[in-house]
Chain A
Amino acid sequence: MKKSGSESLKSINLRPFVESIIAILVGFIIGAIVLLAFGYNPWSAYYWLFQGALGSTYGIASTLKYATPIMLTALTFAIGTRTGIFNIGAEGSFYFGAIAAVIFTNIWDNMLFGLAMGMLLGALWALPAAVLKVYRGVHEVISTIMLNWIGWFFVLWLIVGPYANPNDPNKTIRIPVDARLPIIGYGLSIAIVIAVIAAVLTYFLLWHTTMGFGMRASGINQKAARYAGMNPKMAVMWSFLIGGLLSGLGGAMKIMGEGPGYAISQGGANIYGFGFDGIGVALVGRNHPLGIILSAIFFGMLRAGTALMQAQAHVPLEIIKVIQGIIVITVAIPSLYDLVKKAIHRGAA
């Protein structure tokens, strides 16, 4: 490894930030070329994208609303990466956070209780993968993918079975009014504030506590960490559990904080995919909690701008998704490059 240990443990490093900004610009340029090739006006398309995402109070609220769940699932992935594991179990924990909120707020209509149970079930769902990894060496990519599917079908059964809404077969029962998250305005709940606080706390944990130092150290070199008297096994364990807790919180807040339904819809349509999107957000945010806040908002902008881009620039949704895909891939390239480089180094070590 080129960098010395102390250097790579340093938290403030502007280079990744500049790289990301440049990557974003390059992504937009390639996107513009594609738009031109399909016969759409890229200026007008991008103008309305930004207008839709940032041009009004409602647009900004909408951007932040989309940013909230992916901010939390991105933190799950980032904590994993920092401790040297490739945790893609955010998806499963997210489902359990969401269904836990539905189940437990209908037992006791208390907001904090709902959030706590969401976090608890999210963390519990991460536990099997953690135990398998630590005590049996099962690779976390395999175990988390499989657990995601198990969780998906189990939650799907809960959605269409015991917790289906008899008056509205399209949804589960709703979160009781008293347990819903307070709304700041324009449909945006305090979930975004909680998510940002979670990101800051994660940053604090990783860079300003002994435990976080141990986690990052075992992520960089397990053997060295053990030699230095740390416990890499516990570090991995905590990384899974905290990751699951954050995604569980994300799932709970998705349902408790977003109207008008305040329920999981048929087929789990409104809780699916946030864990995977979180991986992209984490890569763009360079696996840094503070970078993730910014990159989640960037992803939120791309989502929120689509309505005006369709209505005003007349770009069909399919093309918009292509452009977004191009931008996201371009933006993720520097981080992917780092990740692959690290993996190769570790393999060689």
Chain B
Amino acid sequence: MKKWLSLFLIGLMALSVVASGCISPGGEESTKGAIAIVYDVGGRGDLSFNDMAYLGASKAAEDFNLDLVELQSNSEDDYVKNLETLAAQKKYLVIIAVGFMMTDAVKQVADEYPDQKFAIIDGYIPDKDNVMSILFKENEGSALAGALAGLIAANDGKDKVGIVLGMEIPVLYKFEAGYRFGVKWAEDYYKQKEGKDVTIDVLYQYTGSFGDAAKGKAAARAQLAQGAWVIYQVAGGTGLGVFDAVGEVLDSQGKKMGPPFAIGVDSAQDWIKPGVIIASMMKRVDVGVYTAVKDAVEGNFKGGIVELGLKEGGVGLSTVDDVMAMFDSLPEDTQKQKLKDLGFNSRDELKQYLEDTRKQVPDWVWDAVKELQGKITTGVIKVPAPMDKDGIVEVRNAKTWQEMMELAK
């Protein structure tokens, strides 16, 4: 009995500790206000979406002197609870939900708290005054990827490039259309430059998944066997298999650097397989988050769709500096391990290697891509963005980039 009594007393003490905590919770110092960011189940450390969102949020918090509250979701069931808990506190300038999976949850909570401002990255909520949906013009970034791929192929006398995609969902049509547009533009550019007619076919495959590297590898192998010279991956984890397949071809030929090349997507993926990946089409989630906070702070917040393209820096082709910035944001021991895995002695060696990889492609190709970028930015050239099956079929059937541009209007 004595044992029970002593245990009980310990318990009572614990309770009093908890209770006294209730009376005086930890104080909070306030800055100019606060913003909150809710991650999806992936959470920080994914080297992609969530990490980039954090970069944007922390930069905004610093620039505008705001407190930053981060909430990670344990499972999908937490989305509504996390958003609702934050909204109920009524102290955040804006609550940012990262990822389209939260679309339903944001819709619901935004209705319950009409005075709270929300922003959602990649989610489509067009008709609420208090929700800013931040979308990216993937078609514009993909056009640059297509131009790069097409010009590399043309320069080497090849006539095929590839694209491996994930599930056949509308947003991926934008990637495919942009890529095709870029390839057609490259044909035209090459003809003007060299006076020779070239036709470059785009091999494409929807793998039906975003997480199956083996499928991506199989798809890329098939395309390489048919003569694809550059392959753009738009398939998340499935796309990692594309890098493997291209890398194997290089190995079998005893080459350290392409061509053939792969093109990465979403974040600056070049460092994943240096030598294999020529560049990546980046979706600047950090820019999106920053834009939402900036608009909320400066009183320019408007509900509805905000599309970020090349002009706004929302998409773009990665530079070596972009890649190194991504690499530097990794924890130090991860960096060391990564360098070791890749067989480099130092960070600078990796950087040099990436620069050498880019030198496999003549300068005029890079200049041409820049030229296209400039024309899209100034609005001289418009890239189609089909959102349904009929739209993408029209783009696939178009013979020239001018024809595609008609579809964009």
Contact A43 B72 (CB under 8 A): no
How far, in Å, is B169 (CB) from chain A's closest CB?
A: 5
Contacts of A313 in B (CB 8 A): 26
CB under 8 Å from chain B, chain A span 269-322? 269-270, 273, 303-304, 306-308, 310-314, 316-317, 321
- Give B380 Cβ to nearest chain A Cβ, in Å: 35
Question: A66 within 8 Å of B by Cβ?
Answer: yes
User: What is the distance, in angstroms, from A189's C-beta to the closest C-beta of chain B?
Assistant: 13
Which A residue sits closest to B84, measured CB to CB?
A58
Checking B43, B69, B88, B105 against A260 with a beta-carbon cut-off of 8 angstroms, the contacting residue is B105
Is A32 engaged at the interface, CB distance under 8 Å to the other chain?
A: yes
> Which residue of the partner chain, among A25, A170, A260, A321, contacts B108 with CB atoms under 8 Å?
A260
CB pair B74 A306 closer than 8 Å: yes
Q: Contact string, B41-85, partner A, CB cutoff 8 A, digits 1/0? A: 101000000000000000000000000011110111110111011
A312 proximity list for chain B (CB < 8 A) = 25-26, 28
Contacts of A306 in B (CB 8 A): 74, 78
CB–CB B26/A43 < 8 A: yes
User: Measured between alpha carbons, how far is A26 from B14 in the docked complex, in Å?
Assistant: 8
Which of A28, A169, A307 sits near B71, CB closer than 8 Å?
A: A307
| CB closest chain-B residue, reference A69 | B77
A73: CB under 8 A from chain B?
Answer: no
The distance in angstroms between the C-alpha atoms of A187 and B25, with both chains bound, is 28
In the bound complex, residues from chain B placing their C-beta under 8 Å from that of A21 are 11
The interface centre, meaning the residue of B20, B41, B104 with most chain A CB atoms within 10 A of its CB, is B104
Q: Which of A259, A270, A310 contacts B75 (CB 8 A)?
A: A270
* Residue in B11, B21, B43 whose beta carbon sits within 8 Å of that of A22 in the complex: B11
Q: Which residue of chain A has its CB nearest to the CB of B26?
A: A44
- For residue A109, CB closer than 8 A to chain B, the reply is no
A-B pairs under 8 A by CB, number: 108
User: How many residues on chain B are close to A (CB under 8 Å)?
Assistant: 45
CB pair B10–A26 under 8 Å, yes or no, is yes
Chain B 151-163 interface 0/1 with A at a Cβ cutoff of 8 Å (1 = within)? 0000000000000
Q: Does A213 contact B (CB under 8 A)?
A: no
Chain A residues with CB under 8 A of B344: none
User: Chain B at the A interface: mostly helix, strand, loop or mixed?
Assistant: helix
Docked-complex contact A43 and B25, CB < 8 angstroms: yes
Distance, CA A313 to CA B70, complexed state (A): 11
CB distance from B333 to the nearest CB of A (A): 17
Chain A's interface size range is 35 or more
A37 to B167, CA, bound (A): 45
Chain A CB within 10 Å — which of B14, B74, B86 has the most? B14
Closest-by-CB residue of A relative to B24 is A43
Q: For the complex, what is the distance from the CA of A240 to the CA of B107, rounded to whole Å?
A: 41
Q: Are A317 and B43 in contact (CB under 8 A)?
A: yes
- Bound Cα distance from A303 to B80, whole angstroms: 13
B18 touches A28 (CB 8 A): yes
Q: Which residues on B sit within 8 Å (CB–CB) of A304? A: 81
On whether A62 and B81 interact (CB within 8 A), knowing A47-B25, A260-B104, the answer reads yes
CB of B392, distance to nearest CB on chain A (Å): 16
Is A50's CB within 8 Å of the partner chain B? yes
Q: Considering the chains assembled together, what is the distance between the CA atoms of A26 and B270 in angstroms?
A: 50
Q: Mark A242-282, 1 if CB is under 8 A from B, else 0.
A: 00000000000000001111000100011001000000000
Within 8 A of A (CB), among B86-143: 86, 88-89, 100-101, 104-105, 107-108
| B242 → chain A closest CB, angstroms | 21
A262 and chain B: residue at smallest CB distance: B104
**Known contacts A32-B17, A311-B36, A311-B89: does B77 contact A317 (CB below 8 Å)?**
no
B1 within 8 A of A: no
Q: Choose among B15, B22, B76, B167 the residue that contacts A269 (Cβ–Cβ < 8 A).
A: B76
CA distance A259 to B84 in the complex (A): 13
The answer to whether B25 and A44 touch across the interface, beta carbons within 8 angstroms, is: yes
A307 touches B78 (CB 8 A): yes
B70 touches A265 (CB 8 A): no
Q: Is the CB of A260 within 8 A of B80?
A: yes
B7 at the interface (CB under 8 A from A): yes
B74 to chain A, nearest CB (A): 6
Do B21 and A46 touch across chains, with their CB atoms under 8 A apart?
yes
**Chain B nearest CB, measured from A209 CB (Å):** 35
Neighbouring B residues of A260 by C-beta, 8 Å: 80, 104-105, 107-108
The reply on A122 being an interface residue by CB < 8 A is no
Contact A50 B100 (CB under 8 A): no
**B residues at A contact (CB < 8 Å):** 4, 7-8, 10-12, 14-15, 17-18, 20-22, 24-26, 28, 36, 41, 43, 69-72, 74-78, 80-82, 84-86, 88-89, 100-101, 104-105, 107-108, 167, 169
Q: List 8 A-B contacts (CB under 8 A).
A: A25-B12, A41-B26, A47-B25, A52-B85, A66-B77, A270-B75, A307-B71, A313-B26
**Top 8 A-B residue pairs of the complex, sorted by shortest distance between their CB atoms:** A43-B21, A25-B11, A44-B26, A307-B85, A260-B104, A317-B72, A260-B108, A29-B14
